[in-house]
Amino acid sequence: MSELQQWINSYLVKWGLVHDSANIWDNLIVLFLVIIVTVAIDYTCRYIFLGLFKRFAKRTRNQWDDLIVERKIINKLMHLIPAILVYIMLPLALPREEMPTLLGILQMICSIYIVAVILRFINAALNLLLEIYNRKEAFKNKPLKGFVQIIQVLVFFVGFIIIISILIGKSPATLFAGLGASAAILMLVFKDTILGFVAGIQLSANDMLRPGDWITMTKYGADGTVIEVTLNSIKVRNFDNTITMIPPYALVSDSFQNWRGMQESGGRRVKRSINIDMNSVRFCTPEMLAKFRKISLLTEYIDTKQKELERYNEEHNIDDSIKVNGRRQTNLGVFRAYLVNYLKSNPDVNKDLTCMVRQLQPTEKGIPMELYFFAATTVWIPYEGIQSDVFDHILAVLPEFGLQVFQEVSGSDLHHLRIQTSN
């Protein structure tokens, strides 16, 4: 019996209580005093330390101390004070020689509570650290959440082992040594976590993926923006607002397309062709050249090209009475030059990136005239508008060059042909 208990017990006996009753009541009174002292110290610490820190956070310009106050990080740490005080002062109310079992159980509960509070504090601190780093531009697009989750898993694993050791009354080192024998089972249980950890390191080290990247992975039906990179999954918001979850190791083992380079380049590629009817290709007549010369985008080209061809034909004594002799301009060649100048003069086309018009291998569907250029924006909707405007213009100006677009015969064409035949 402690001196405090003896003092209280003597007063209780003086007040007329039986000795056995006094022994019970003195324990309860000491326990009540322990609780009062613990609560008083807890509230005092909260009032003093939390109040001082809040006033300090308001006066500083830093954001991290404001986040500590908002996320109540110190509040979580303050829960340790009453638990530690109760653990220390329990023997005053419950002497070990009188109530060893009850004292052991209550102290064990306090120990588990202390470990749980520490784990909760570390978890909150890691989440706060992640939030602080995500607000910095240098780390904003880094997949740090996966690494934080790895640390959280390890911390909770160690905490779980410590709690088990408290319950069974053995040293944590003994349990950790025993886990070495069951490493194969642990690897099997945490297979996805281990694979995700290794894949996360590879993705980060090689800068293969960042939150905000647009990726395409047909195998998993992913075509959208990466919104979250975690230890066990990559969350992708598709353009139809559906969510696709991809395991991190799949991005390392399988092929996927990352559009980040396109987004950072300042231009999005357009690679489309239009099929020209081969029957509409012909040499340019003087009348056609005169007409083309009136087109502002072709005036300089027609003059320069015509002088070049005339000089060549004169130097080689070409008989121009037959069109196949020598070199001549064609309506398709002039049209191709017009498209190049049109793209270079278009403000919606990125002039710093590749811009060309090329003729592909003729097929049974005509001559493919391919336009290869980059729009001056990477935003999807404006990009589609630019692409459509360009090809609308091409289809509209084709007849001006005596060219025709090739397209399959449709029902209306056959109907028109039948009417003409009947007439």
Across-strand partners of 358? 370
Distance CA 34, CA 4 (A): 12
Which residue is it, tokens 């980060």?
Answer: 204
Residue 22 phi, psi (nearest 5): -60, -35
Distance CA 235, CA 225 (A): 9
- Cβ pair 293, 303 in contact under 8 A: yes
- Cβ pair 275, 402 in contact under 8 A: no
- Cβ pair 144, 133 in contact under 8 A: yes
Q: What is the pLDDT along the chain (423 residues), one digit of tens a residue?
A: 445 555 555 555 455 454 455 455 556 666 677 777 777 777 777 777 777 777 776 777 666 666 776 777 777 777 788 788 878 777 766 666 666 777 788 888 888 888 888 888 888 888 888 777 777 766 655 666 767 777 887 888 888 888 888 888 877 777 776 666 566 676 676 677 777 777 777 776 677 888 888 999 988 889 999 988 877 788 999 989 999 999 888 888 888 899 888 888 888 999 999 999 999 999 999 999 999 999 999 999 999 999 999 899 888 888 777 878 888 899 999 999 999 999 999 999 999 899 999 999 999 999 999 999 999 998 889 999 999 999 999 999 999 999 999 987 766 666 666 655 555
According to the model, what pLDDT value does residue 1 have? 45
3-state class of 194 per DSSP?
A: helix
Residue 272 makes CB contacts below 8 A (sequence gap 6+) with 370, 371, 387, 391
Q: How many CA atoms lie within 13 A of 104 on its CB side?
A: 9
Q: How many CA atoms lie within 13 A of 180 on its CB side?
A: 5
- Domain ranges across the chain: 3-140, 268-412
Q: Is the pTM of this model over 0.75?
A: no
Can you point out the beta strands (E) in 230-276? 234-238, 243-246, 257-258, 268-276
According to the model, what pLDDT value does residue 18 have? 41
